[in-house]
Amino acid sequence: MAPHAEIEVAGFTDTSSVVKVEVNDSAQTKISGMTPARPVFTIDDVLPHRQKSKPPPTIVAAFSDANMFKSKGCLEGKPKAKSFAHRLTAESKSRKPSSLKGAMKYFKQGTISLCGGLPSSEYFPFEELSAKIPTAPEFTEAQTATSGKSYSSGKHDATRDGKALLDLSIALNYGQSMGPGALIRFLTEHTEIVHSPPYSDWDICMTSGSTSALDVALRMFTERGQYVLTEEYTFSSAIETVVPLWAKMLGVKMDADGMLPDDLDNILSNWDEKARRAPKPFLVYTVPTGQNPTASTQSLQRRKQIYAVAEKHDLFILEDEPYYFLQMDPFVSGHTHAVSSPFEPVSVADFLSNLVPSYLSIDTSGRVLRLDSFSKIIAPGSRAGWVTGAPQVIERFMRHNEVSAQTPSGFSLIALYNLLEENWGHKGFLEWLMFIRAEYTRRRDIIVNACEEHLPSEVCSWVPPKAGMFHWIHVDLTRHPVYKAKGGKQIDVASLLEIEDSVFTSCAEQGVLIAKGSWFRAQKATDTELFFRTTFAAAPADKMREAIEKVGVAIRKEFEIDIEDEIVVKGSTNGHAK
């Protein structure tokens, strides 16, 4: 891994993530009143647009797609996506539409269906499902307990009573693989508001979460013997999904801003099929924001550079973004950002304009498949998310979905529909995202401050995360007794893994679990440096501090550091300042 950028400790405003008008400029142009460079769609446009458009269908297993709900500005005046059919695997190309699901297009009011095995909803033992949810912006658990709203979904709210767009009779039955129309409409509007893709014919398919979506996507684009390009350290499940496809991950060098475009270009420009015994790769799997495990976050400039390499080498990008909305204010040593109580959301325009634009928002060709998930922003057990991309790619994705997960669970669908569509709306949802972003910022501050206090600064360094849920800690192997015993020669992989395991076990013996960096290494057994991943997502503040203190004990023990002799390096000279 390339050296990280210098630690940022000053309390400055990080403007690298501010959206400029040339890209996803909706918020900026609305604020400044400039003539938009291209049509924009904001939360204020949702209602008038809905009033002029057809509502989502309210029959069981109805078809829908994003085009049914897009604004005029999106549908007109933008080019169409290019074809990426040449990148699809034989498996993906060979998929035929599901005969049974396809038959539903002949279904209209009054049709008597003796076709699909869709049970009658009278045999669903759920007349009503209720839940209590926070009322925006009173989002805390305590506030929800007192001021939360209880709602209930009935079996026939949509189909018989016409008072909703989704009910239990629809959600709990089989549905089309893209998901129910009411949610496709919400997600289409969300996509326009947040990403405003530069081409017109993008489509959406709901997924059973990004793990499942990634499995589908990798099978769509990866033949046996191919390489998939990714960050040097990457999401372990992605590696574990690629391996059984008889394919391999190839790690591209990275720094705190993620994948290095020059290295990506270099690998591709100098690809030697014979030496590598593999065709030139074209699939890039990347986690651009709050990357798992390194927390690296690609700036807009970095994304544009990588996209330019993708255009040059005709790559296809899988943009896996579960942490996209958890983009934080910069860390300031010794300071913990407080979450205002009552929570005061900023304006939606401000929130959106401070997010680093997505690949989807700069994708002029349609070479990006974006994976979104409700896991980290609503609940992992929802097993729900969505993918957005070029129509041809989404069509192939749906063919796969039809014969695998089909749709997220109907219980999730009805809960998400009620939360997002009936209660929060786009504003409430975005305010919720602001709230959890503030919560994770506070938690990030707690863990990083604890590291400053408890980890030996001569061997441990890090870059404070700018997004996500992870804190990635580098431990300097050259300070290990084995390195000294070897006369300063590079520590071999086996010894590195032993040292890593020893720290891991010593933490576990003290009742603390951390993740080994080697688990995330894109190419196994090529490690040259020692890292540990910690998460600030789960433990309460005092437990996080206690755990980091114990990690410090484990590292000191392994590196034979006597706490008495330690040079205490704090604040601006901590971490990566060497």
Binding site for ligand PLP (CB under 6 A): 209-211, 235, 287, 292, 320, 322, 373, 375, 380, 385
Closer residue to ligand PLP (CB): 290 or 456: 290
Shortest approach of ligand PLP to residue 230 CB, angstroms?
11
Minimum separation from the CB atom of position 137 to ligand PLP (A): 25
Render the burial of 272-292: b for 16+ CB within 10 Å, e for the rest.
eeeeeebebbbbbbbbbbbbb
Compute the chain's Rg from CA coordinates. 25
Kindly tell me which of 405 and 460 has the beta carbon lying closer to ligand PLP.
Answer: 405
Least distance in Å: CB of 217 to ligand PLP? 11
Closer by beta carbon to ligand PLP, 378 or else 499: 378
292 or 327: CB nearest ligand PLP: 292
Cβ at position 115, least distance to ligand PLP in Å: 33
| Cα distance between residue 89 and residue 369, in whole Å | 15
* DSSP state letter for 512: -
**How far apart are CB 321 and ligand PLP at their closest, in Å?**
8
Which residue, 41 or 531, has its beta carbon nearer to ligand PLP? 531
CA distance between the termini of the chain: 16
Query: Six-digit token pair at 205?
Result: 């398919």
Q: Smallest distance from the beta carbon of 236 to ligand PLP, in angstroms?
A: 9
Separation CA 320–CA 323 (nearest Å): 9
Indicate the residue among 43 and 369 with the shorter CB distance to ligand PLP: 369
| 451, 462 Cβ separation under 8 angstroms | yes
What lies within 8 Å, CB to CB, of 58 at 6+ separation is 158, 159, 162, 165, 166, 167, 170, 181, 182
Minimum separation from the CB atom of position 237 to ligand PLP (A):
6
Identify which of residues 186 and 483 has a Cβ nearer to ligand PLP in the complex: 186
Residue closer to ligand PLP (CB basis): 231 or 422: 231
Residue 377 vs 448, nearer CB to ligand PLP? 377
**Quick one: 332 or 378, whose CB is closer to ligand PLP?**
378
Nearer residue to ligand PLP within complex by CB, 339 or 469: 469
- What SS3 class is residue 567? coil
State the minimum distance, in angstroms, from the CB of residue 556 to ligand PLP. 30
DSSP 421-479: IIIIHHHHHHHHHHHHHHHHHHHHHHHHHHHHHHS-TTTEE----SBSSEEEEEE-GGG
CB of 537: closest distance to ligand PLP in angstroms? 9
> Closest separation between CB of residue 432 and ligand PLP, Å?
17
- State how far the Cα of 421 lies from the Cα of 159, in Å rounded to an integer: 17
CB of 372 to ligand PLP, least distance (A): 9
The Cβ of residue 454 has, within 10 Å, a number of other Cβ atoms equal to: 19
Minimum CB distance to ligand PLP smaller for 211 or for 361: 211
Which among 220, 242, 216 has a CA at the least distance from the CA of 229? 242
Q: Residue 251 in 3-state DSSP?
A: strand
**Residue positions counted in the chain:** 578
Buried b (16+ CB within 10 A) or exposed e, 343-380: bebebbbebbbbbbbbbbbbbebbbbbbbbbbbbbbee
Task: Give Cβ neighbours of residue 379 (< 8 Å, ≥ 6 apart).
Answer: none
Output the smallest distance, CB 161 to ligand PLP, in A. 33
Q: Give me the half-sphere count of Cα atoms (radius 13 Å) on the Cβ side of residue 299.
A: 15
Q: Of 516, 508, 413, which Cα lies nearest the Cα of 165?
A: 413
